[in-house]
Chain A
Amino acid sequence: MTEVVAVIDYGMGNLHSASKALEKVASGQTILITSDPDQVRAADRVVFPGVGAIRDCIAVLRDTGLDQAIHDVVAAGKPLLGICVGMQALLARSEENNGIDCLGVFSGQVSFFGEMLGETGNKLKVPHMGWNQVQQGMAHPMWAGIADNARFYFVHSYCATDVPESDVAGYCDYGRRFAAAVTRDNVFAVQFHPEKSADAGLTLLENFLRWQP
């Protein structure tokens, strides 16, 4: 039977990029954009993308029951890939929008970059936007074929902090060192946009479609 890869659609921005990039690297898998919690549960793999404000994101997930579907996918041991706000939503809490509880799949929280100074003493621009290096924190099948310190495309104003080191799959430096990728068991989540990160990003997505956690 053809494997189904669900891309969770919760009305938050651009799913086109993620699904097109997955289609580009899929071999015989069906990419299904869905907002139906049951279809998410039934899928063989799940991609949880996201852009925009975390408060709206969490509110929609709770209203639609997609939050429980995500917890069920995690518990069922199926591969789950969080992207950008999708990764942030998997942490315990975010300080965006005056503080909001998230899904708590990972401990740690999401904090504003704040007014940080760069190496030359100039103020760093926020959002952190552009191609930055990801230092791999551990060997992992998701990093197969991707060089350590390869560049990925980031665009975000909040970043993950206080994630236990054992869950950090990759680090990035922008004024501070933050978790650019987190993983545990069958879950892998990235702050950057693999669907916008040219060859390195496509390789990561291809790795996800093959990953057998």
Chain B
Amino acid sequence: MGLAKRIIPCLDVDDGRVVKGVQFVDIRDAGDPVEVAKRYNDAGADEITFLDITASHEGRDTTLHTVEQIASQVFIPLTVGGGVRTLEDIRNLLNAGADKVGINSAAVHNPEFVREAAERFGSQCIVVAIDAKKVSAESEPNRWEIFTHGGRKPTGLDAVEWAKRMTDYGAGEILLTSMDRDGTKNGFDIALTRAISDAVPVPVIASGGVGNLQHLVDGVIQGGADAVLAASIFHFAEYTVADAKRYMQNAGVEMRLD
């Protein structure tokens, strides 16, 4: 009895449309983020994360409108990330109805931005997204580095040190993605998840590599994650969120099932 672990489906949204294909058999418009968010809410998702991959500047207004639409109809927490660079970006997203915003490369370029954001809006709504890749050889102790530009650009920053620094600066949560595992369906990088989770005082969301329901359990029990984020296993209806919750509960993980 106590705090439940969370399952967070993630939507990639480009100019107001869900991309990377969501395949629900009985949904009218699988590209409509509001419909997809509602569907996940009905299936028992604990939160929704919305990754804005809109490239154009004009597209940002569409994003705000989409956030507004989701927040008017789906009454669970909504995190929006992607392209968040200024305090004004954050304010606009929160005013549109986002509960938390994810900051990724802007934090790497200017760590003070995270401090300013947490002071201005409160740590509870500042999620720092970390994309990490293993850089140590097999014979060496594990070491992961922060990468930007979708995993192409190394920064020289040690992932564990960086996560600690970001929480010192006021990040209220860490969204941790293993760039080695992202898209592989081989499961989370458990050692990375455990290393970050043990190092920071705030909740950690594990992301990258989920291919089956046991991977979600492993992320929580072995990796120490407080929440698990997944996209494709839910989008392609391989499993429903409800399936995942029952599976995790049966494996001894406390979940919200009501």
Q: Mark A135-162, 1 if CB is under 8 A from B, else 0.
A: 0000000000001011101111100000
Partner of A130, one of B41, B46, B97, B122: B46
Q: Min CB distance, B34 to chain A, in Å?
A: 13
Query: SS class of chain B's interface: helix, strand, loop or mixed?
Result: loop
Q: Is the beta-carbon distance between A198 and B99 smaller than 8 angstroms? A: no
Q: Given A157-B123, A197-B75, A132–B4 Cβ distance below 8 Å?
A: yes
In the complex, how many residues of chain B place their beta carbon closer than 8 angstroms to a beta carbon of chain A? 36
Say how far A65's CB is from chain B's closest CB, in angstroms. Answer: 24
Do B75 and A133 touch across chains, with their CB atoms under 8 A apart?
A: no
Is A59 an interface position by the 8 A CB rule?
A: no
Per the bound structure, the CA–CA distance linking A126 and B201 in Å amounts to 6
Contact B256 A151 (CB under 8 A): yes
Which of B125, B202, B258 contacts A125, CB < 8 Å? B202
Q: Which residue of B lies closest to A196 (CB)?
A: B77
Knowing A16-B97, A51-B124, A151-B256, the reply to whether A132 touches B72 (Cβ < 8 A) is no
Residue contact A16 to B95, C-beta cutoff 8 Å:
yes
Whether A17 and B124, one on each chain, are in contact in the complex, defined by CB atoms closer than 8 angstroms, is no
In the complex, whether A210 has a CB less than 8 A from a CB of chain B is no
Asked, given contacts A129-B226, A131-B256, whether A13 binds B72 with beta carbons under 8 Å apart, the answer is no
Say yes or no: is B211 at the interface (Cβ < 8 Å to chain A).
no
B121 touches A125 (CB 8 A): no
Nearest chain A CB to B1's CB is how many angstroms away?
6
Given contacts A20-B97, A151-B256, contact A130 B75 (CB under 8 A): no
Q: Which residues of chain B come closer than 8 Å to A131, judged between CB atoms?
A: 3-4, 6, 46, 256
**Which residues does chain A contribute within 8 Å of B121, judged by CB atoms?**
13, 52
- B123 to nearest A CB, angstroms? 7
| Assembly CA distance A129 to B95 (angstroms) | 21
Q: How far is the CB of B68 from chain A (nearest CB, A)?
A: 8
User: Cβ of A149 and Cβ of B71 under 8 Å apart?
Assistant: no
Interface band, chain A = 35 or more
Decide: A125 and B6 in contact? CB cutoff 8 A.
no
What residues of chain B lie closer than 8 Å to A150, measured between beta carbons? 258
- How many A-B Cβ pairs are below 8 Å? 106
- Chain A residues with Cβ under 8 A from B76's Cβ? 153, 196-198
Residue among B94, B202, B258 making CB contact with A151, cutoff 8 Å: B258
Chain A residues with CB under 8 A of B172: 127, 129, 155
Give complex CA distance A130, B228 in Å: 12
* Chain A residue at minimum C-beta to C-beta distance from B72: A20
Interface 1/0 per residue, B93-113 and A, CB below 8 Å: 011111100000000000000
A155: which of B75, B124, B224 is its contact (CB, 8 Å)? B124
- In the bound complex, residues from chain B placing their C-beta under 8 Å from that of A125 are 201-204, 226
> Is the beta-carbon distance between B97 and A24 smaller than 8 angstroms?
no
Report whether A130 and B201 are in contact in the complex, using a CB–CB cutoff of 8 Å. no
* B72–A51 CB distance below 8 A: no
Is A34 among interface residues, defined by CB-CB distance under 8 A? no
Q: With both chains docked as a complex, state the minimum distance between the C-beta of B196 and any C-beta of chain A, in angstroms.
A: 12
Verify if A211 is at the interface (C-beta below 8 Å from B): no
A173: chain B residues at CB < 8 Å are 1-2
Contact of A198 among B2, B41, B173, B201 (CB under 8 A): B41
- Bound CA–CA A196/B122 (angstroms): 17
Q: Which residues of B have CB within 8 Å of A53?
A: 122
Cβ 8 A contact of B1, one of A21, A130, A149: A149
In the complex, which residue of chain B has the Cβ closest to the Cβ of A21?
Answer: B75
Q: Which residues of B contact A178 (CB under 8 A)?
A: none
Tell yes or no: B227 within 8 A of A by CB: yes
Residues of B within 8 A of A (CB): 1-6, 41, 46, 68, 71-72, 75-77, 94-99, 121-125, 172-173, 201-204, 224, 226-227, 256, 258
Of the A-B pairs whose beta carbons lie under 8 Å apart in the complex, a sample of 20, sorted by A's number, is A14-B94, A14-B98, A14-B99, A16-B68, A17-B97, A20-B72, A24-B72, A52-B121, A125-B226, A129-B124, A129-B173, A129-B203, A131-B6, A132-B2, A153-B77, A156-B124, A174-B3, A196-B75, A200-B258, A202-B75
